[in-house]
Chain A
């Protein structure tokens, strides 16, 4: 009798786990398909057709419906949206995963492009730098966002962004100099400690 009870409990637990895992697995499959589609467009350097975009969006929406607690899907969906709507999705994502420097970086970059250099923008910049100080993509995202609105930043945020630029200079100096030129902020980059170690610092003289 005890064995039967024990077996029933185990089966129930397994069934419960399956009930939890299956939707997540299915969601991941949908999202994976959408990401592969997106990757193929990037690899082939072509814009997707309207139909392809709709298909990818519907896959991601299905994934989100199956696993609403997963912030990755919100971020994936936001890639297909205009900045204003994308920002809403990134905000939802950061509420689910406040420790992600990428999500904070995305918020900073979207707000920089809107442009909305407000307190939320500065918070996003500082959080991204704090949570992902050595994440290469985060470094570039917040460098671009901060360069675009440098004069609007508080002194403390400017210091944090100089620190970010100093870290990024170690491995991504070429990209950072290109970003500084693109945003007209060579003056900022040229004032970052250690800039002289980069061969691209010829632009500073």
Chain B
């Protein structure tokens, strides 16, 4: 009887593990076109699609894709990039025993660690050609040219290491290093003092908008992301055809579904986060703020930025006075 019980438990655990493997991540956001290739089959991706361990995700021209993993890990792929989820195991009971192995095959991406990377740095690894990127912090960008086999890695928050067979280079926040096959990685240098081409490449990757990096329930988040995308599409169509009553009703219904699924996904994510903390997870550090435009270095008179179609001027930063404090006055 005890043996039967053990077999049943083992089977259930195996099922759970299989489920975890089957739903490593989902497509959180996307522009243009992207594909997923697994087991010799390639499919077109859309927002809300699930990504399994062993899948290669590729983006097309003028395209981008943001993937969010169960532990909160975020991978934001730039255009004409290819990236493989080599192995992804998220152990919800013992977070420290989880592992994530990725491979950047071509192009560039921004990666922000979730609880796997923040709990045990050694359990996160990403290869790019013959180089390996290890994390010692939270937020970085990588670019890999499969033809020249050149790797560029820059740190936005925390720290990284770039390893080749010839040696290792630690890279601190605000620094970058490069490596080519058969060579030692270059000494880390400040990205702001790099050649314009390097700065341009790093900023283009760093500017990608990323979601929160707390753990999620992949199925719930994927469903919500798809529902929101559908609601936005229908809302735009309804706006273009104000006389179409059926479309107006469909848009309204889609908006309701989106809000409900969003609420469910956030609730599930908050519970997943609490569960991860109970299971020994170290909360991931916040992603680095979006980079300031070229030539702006101050922290007081900051420029306005636009995210999700909303432009925000930092509070009070309306620019009166040369280099002033930019605080608003009380109403008279």
Contact = CB atoms under 8 A, between A and B. Distances in A.
Interface stretch (B8-16, B169-177, B187-195, B315-323): B315-323
Contacts of B157: 184
A203 B325 contact: no
A103 to B, nearest CB: 6
Nearest to A74: B329
Contact of A204 (B212, B322, B328, B332): B212
A186 B307 contact: no
Contacts of A197: 259, 263
B286 interface: yes
Interface string B303-332: 001011010101110111111111111111
Nearest to B255: A199
A87 B325 CA distance: 9
Nearest to B302: A182
A203 B328 contact: no
Q: Identify which of A110, A177, A191, A199 gathers the most chain B CB atoms within 10 Å of its CB.
A: A199
A178 B209 CA distance: 10
B312 A178 contact: yes
A164 interface: no
B266 A109 contact: no
A140 B305 contact: no
Given A102-B328, A184-B289, A196-B263, A205 B320 contact: no
Contact of A76 (B228, B267, B307, B329): B329
Interface stretch (B93-101, B119-127, B213-221): B213-221
B330 A103 contact: yes
Interface in B197-253: 209, 211-214, 216, 220-221, 224-225, 228
A72 B266 CA distance: 43
Nearest to A84: B325
A141 interface: yes
Give the dominant DSSP class at B's interface: loop
A78 interface: yes
A196 B262 contact: yes
Given A144-B315, A175-B312, A190-B212, A182 B329 contact: no
B120 to A, nearest CB: 20
Nearest to A181: B307
B300 A83 contact: yes
Interface in B9-60: 28
Given A41-B320, A80-B321, A178-B312, 14 more contacts: A79-B320, A79-B321, A83-B300, A144-B315, A174-B310, A182-B312, A186-B213, A186-B287, A196-B263, A199-B262, A200-B308, A201-B266, A204-B214, A205-B212
The 9 closest A-B pairs by CB, nearest first: A184-B286, A80-B321, A86-B325, A102-B330, A196-B263, A174-B310, A205-B221, A186-B212, A106-B327
Interface of A: 38, 41-42, 45, 47-48, 50, 53, 56-57, 71-72, 75-76, 78-83, 86-87, 90, 97, 100, 102-103, 105-106, 109-110, 113, 137, 140-141, 144, 174-175, 177-179, 181-187, 190-191, 195-197, 199-205
11 contacts: A81-B324, A83-B300, A100-B330, A102-B329, A141-B315, A141-B316, A186-B213, A187-B286, A196-B266, A197-B259, A202-B262
